[in-house]
Amino acid sequence: MNVLVVGGAGYIGSHCVRQLEAAGHRPVVLDNLVFGHRSAVSAEIPFYDCDLGDPEAVGKILREESIELVMHFAAFAYVGESVTEPRKYYENNFVATLRLLETMLDNGVKKFVFSSTCATYGEPDTLPMVETLPQAPINPYGQTKLDVENCLKAFAHAYGLSFAAFRYFNAAGAAEDGSIGEDHNPETHLIPLVIDAATGRREHIKIFGTDYDTPDGTCLRDYVHVDDLSRAHIAVFDKLNEPGTGCFYNLGTGKPNSVREIIDAVEAVTGLKVPVVEDERRAGDPPALYADSSKAQQELGWKIRYTELKDIIETAWRWHKAHPDGFDD
Ligand SMILES: NC(=O)c1ccc[n+]([C@@H]2O[C@H](COP(=O)([O-])OP(=O)(O)OC[C@H]3O[C@@H](n4cnc5c(N)ncnc54)[C@H](O)[C@@H]3O)[C@@H](O)[C@H]2O)c1
């Protein structure tokens, strides 16, 4: 299938491009490189440096590349910034996505796979988190993703769009061969930050809150390997053959790990000491977030290959060791 990967030069998108190729599909990448990296995508793959909210340019790509399905990874994803600059988030994550959907419909492309997030649930009352939990985001980032989810439901009903929205927990790790990996700027994700502290690229890692009601007092999160995430996006293709289908899936391993466990695992994998500074809790950090992803496993036959934290961190370490400065461009 010819698949347009919007945001395909970013962290998760570039790994999904690899998985699409491995599964015999034909990925085409669209990315304005606001955060992505040109060298995260092989030179053989058609690459369009353009904005997803540009209907003329996107329409031309859809037609000329005979696109049958669009995967949409592009977004701004800094939770704190979304609170101070919500306009930017509504514009890029919601308005531009609406333009993209309109352009797809205008060009007869009606299959869509969307990167949503566990942030749409806000602070859950029950764990593990199932898809039917109430969705009450506590920041504009999560709200923009929920707004797109709602828009998708209406478009499926009214226009026969078929879509899958995946609510990711914490994407982690890197390609097995270490050739591509995580390189956000600024980086806010725990595993790359802990690795940087281990290698001396950062002075230390801060633990925000050591008095949570969790086994070791630090927050619990669900780290899912980026290649496992990517494979779910392909496993859902058959579901999208029926016009008007809409489905939502949590993607996480269901095995929570604490901040301290991440630090210990990085030390074990790298053989390096991680300097740690303990700090106060941050507002808006729930003690524990982890998925029940049995729906994806049962309905899509999704299999989690990276079930051990150590294996996920080993892939991340392979990437960071070989590319201490990240991508060249
Ligand atoms: N990384 C995670 O743990 C995580 C967790 C939950 C949800 N998500 C969601 O998954 C998606 C991918 O996350 P990521 O970590 O790969 O992010 P990323 O920043 O690495 O990738 C996003 C890509 O989109 C591109 N982009 C942004 N706005 C664009 C626009 N207007 N036009 C064209 N390209 C544009 C960027 O240049 C970048 O390459 C995001 O939608 C994010 O909200 C990520």
CA-nearest residue for atom 18, ligand 1, is 10
Average pLDDT on 31-56 reads 98
The model's pLDDT over 155-204, given as tens digits with 9 standing for 90+, comes to 999 999 999 999 999 999 999 999 999 999 999 999 999 999 999 999 99
Confidence of residue 283 (pLDDT cuts 50, 70, 90): confident
Q: Percent of the chain, pLDDT > 70?
A: 100
- For a substitution probing ligand 1, which of 12, 56, 97 has the most ligand atoms within 8 Å of its CB? 12
Q: How far is CA 234 from the centre of its chain?
A: 15
In the annotation, is 159 catalytic? no
Reported as half-sphere exposure (CB side, CA atoms, 13 A), residue 119 has a value of 21
Identity of residue 182: E
From the alpha carbon of 31, which atom of ligand 1 is closest? 34
Tell me how far the alpha carbon of residue 220 lies from the centroid of ligand 1, in angstroms: 23
Q: Would you state the structure tokens that stand for residue 272, as one six-digit string?
A: 């390096």
Q: Is the pLDDT of residue 40 over 90?
A: yes
Q: Which of 40, 49, 43, 65 is nearest to 6 (CA)?
A: 49
Confidence of residue 16 (pLDDT cuts 50, 70, 90): very high
CA-nearest residue for atom 32, ligand 1, is 51
Confidence of residue 237 (pLDDT cuts 50, 70, 90): very high
Confidence of residue 125 (pLDDT cuts 50, 70, 90): very high
Identity of residue 193: L
CA distance 62 to 35: 23
Q: Domain limits of the chain? A: 2-172+223-251
- For a substitution probing ligand 1, which of 98, 115, 226 has the most ligand atoms within 8 Å of its CB? 115
CA distance 149 to 152: 5
Q: Is the pLDDT of residue 70 over 90?
A: yes
Upstream peptide bond of 192 is cis (omega within 30 degrees of 0): no
Average pLDDT on 50-55 reads 98
The model's pLDDT over 143-163, given as tens digits with 9 standing for 90+, comes to 999 999 999 999 999 999 999
Upstream peptide bond of 128 is cis (omega within 30 degrees of 0): yes
From the alpha carbon of 118, which atom of ligand 1 is closest? 6
Confidence of residue 220 (pLDDT cuts 50, 70, 90): very high
CA distance 59 to 237: 22
Q: Pocket residues for ligand 1 (CB within 6 Å)?
A: 7, 9-13, 31-36, 51-53, 73-75, 77, 92, 96, 115, 117, 168, 170-171, 184
Q: Is the pLDDT of residue 284 over 90?
A: no
CA distance 22 to 4: 16
Q: Which of 198, 177, 194, 212 is nearest to 273 (CA)?
A: 198
Marked catalytic residue, from 141, 212, 290, 306? 141
Confidence of residue 329 (pLDDT cuts 50, 70, 90): confident
Tell me how far the alpha carbon of residue 267 lies from the centroid of ligand 1, in angstroms: 28
2-172+223-251 is a CATH 3.40.50.720 domain: yes
pTM assigned to the model = 0.98
Q: Is the pLDDT of residue 270 over 90?
A: yes
The model's pLDDT over 293-326, given as tens digits with 9 standing for 90+, comes to 999 999 999 999 999 999 999 999 999 999 999 9
Q: Is the pLDDT of residue 110 over 90?
A: yes
Mean pLDDT across the chain, nearest whole number?
A: 97
